[in-house]
């Protein structure tokens, strides 16, 4: 259900999906007040409901509720509800720097999909290990996998869909795959950034497990091909090469964290889904 709607002169709508992130208010406030913000309430907590209610009374905000929770479904609902055709995806645990949206919008005359960068920081040793690892993994290669992402929603005519409704925690990988398969070039605007809140190691490892589950669900749906012996060997090689790159740019502690700990959590997720049909409790609807 959409509760409000309006236009802005930059021609961009910011889409934010949220379940239980208390940083949502700072996230919204980091977006210029003249830009439409679409908040998709993805099975929200009471705190998020209250934040959305308060902010909708103060600025140009569209509130969307979806009947069945899910990251991909929430993203698609937000994109559909936006007034503008140009969509800026922003995670609810991030804040946007003042020049990022305007800076990335300058690439619209050349590209239909534009990628910025996300900066992770940490307050202690363990958070800094996570931050250095994430900064390398997320930003090193140009892709359409992670916010900040600005794109023309009409690309759906080339990609077939925006995000596959049944996917969780791997919907961004599939989006990137669809964009590339359609021959759509990705604009490199990584000089413009958003800031991610500090991540504890426990939070990051829970995410790694979820990524593993999400990737296995993608295989069940036939979106990602099942592993052959050759692909398993290539995957081990890729993990090693990423760890080596992380060691070069982020240091040994981050490389070891990624290679030994993060990947173990990812494999735990794939195995739990493959052998026990398991999904994280955070994916399930809240009890009424």
pLDDT single digits (tens) 64-90: 999 888 999 999 999 999 999 999 999
Q: Which of 119, 112, 117, 137 is nearest to 187 (CA)?
A: 112
Domain spans of the chain, in order of start: 12-199, 203-283
Identify which has the larger pLDDT, 226 or 124: 124
pLDDT in tens, 203-262: 999 999 999 999 999 999 999 988 777 778 888 899 999 999 999 999 999 999 999 999
pLDDT at 2: 43
pLDDT above 70 (res 156): yes
In the chain, what percentage of residues exceed pLDDT 90? 85
Please tell me whether the peptide bond between 148 and the residue prior to it is cis, using omega within 30 degrees of 0. Answer: yes
- Considering the entire predicted model, what is its pTM? 0.94
Q: Which of 40-49, 53-62, 95-104, 144-153 is predicted least confidently?
A: 53-62
Which band of pLDDT confidence, cut at 50, 70 and 90, is reported for residue 6? low
- The Cα-based distances of 174 to 74, 117, 146 in angstroms read 16, 19, 11
Q: Domain 12-199, CATH 3.40.50.300 — does that match?
A: no
pLDDT at 287: 54
Which band of pLDDT confidence, cut at 50, 70 and 90, is reported for residue 288? very low
Whose tokens are 């509130």? That residue is 63
Helix (H) or strand (E) holding 210: helix 201-220
């Amino acid at each position: 259900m959409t509760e409000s709607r309006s236009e802005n002169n930059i021609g961009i709508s910011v889409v934010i999906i949220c379940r239980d992130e208390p940083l949502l208010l700072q996230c919204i406030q980091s977006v210029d007040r003249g830009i439409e913000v679409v908040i998709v309430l993805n099975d929200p907590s009471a705190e998020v409901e209250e934040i959305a209610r308060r902010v909708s009374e103060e600025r140009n905000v569209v509130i969307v509720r979806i009947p069945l929770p899910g990251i991909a479904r929430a993203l698609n609902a937000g994109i559909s509800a936006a007034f503008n055709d140009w969509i800026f995806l922003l995670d609810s645990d991030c804040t946007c720097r003042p020049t990022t949206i305007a800076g990335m919008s300058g690439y619209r005359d050349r590209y239909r999909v534009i990628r910025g960068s996300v900066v992770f920081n940490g307050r202690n040793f363990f958070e800094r290990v996570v931050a250095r690892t994430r900064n390398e993994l997320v930003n090193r290669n140009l892709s359409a996998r992670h916010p900040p992402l600005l794109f023309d929603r009409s690309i759906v005519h080339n990609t077939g869909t925006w995000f596959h409704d049944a996917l969780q925690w791997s919907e961004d990988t599939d989006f990137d795959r669809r964009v590339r398969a359609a021959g759509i070039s990705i604009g490199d605007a990584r000089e413009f950034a958003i800031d991610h809140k500090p991540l504890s190691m426990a939070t990051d490892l829970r995410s790694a497990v979820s990524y593993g589950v999400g990737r296995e669900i993608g295989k069940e749906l036939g979106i990602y091909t099942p592993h052959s012996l050759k692909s398993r060997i290539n995957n081990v090689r890729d993990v090693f090469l990423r760890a080596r790159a992380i060691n070069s740019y982020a240091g040994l502690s981050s490389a070891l964290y990624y290679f030994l700990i993060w990947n173990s959590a990812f494999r735990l997720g794939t195995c739990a889904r493959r052998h026990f049909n398991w999904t994280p409790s955070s994916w399930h609807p809240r009890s009424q």
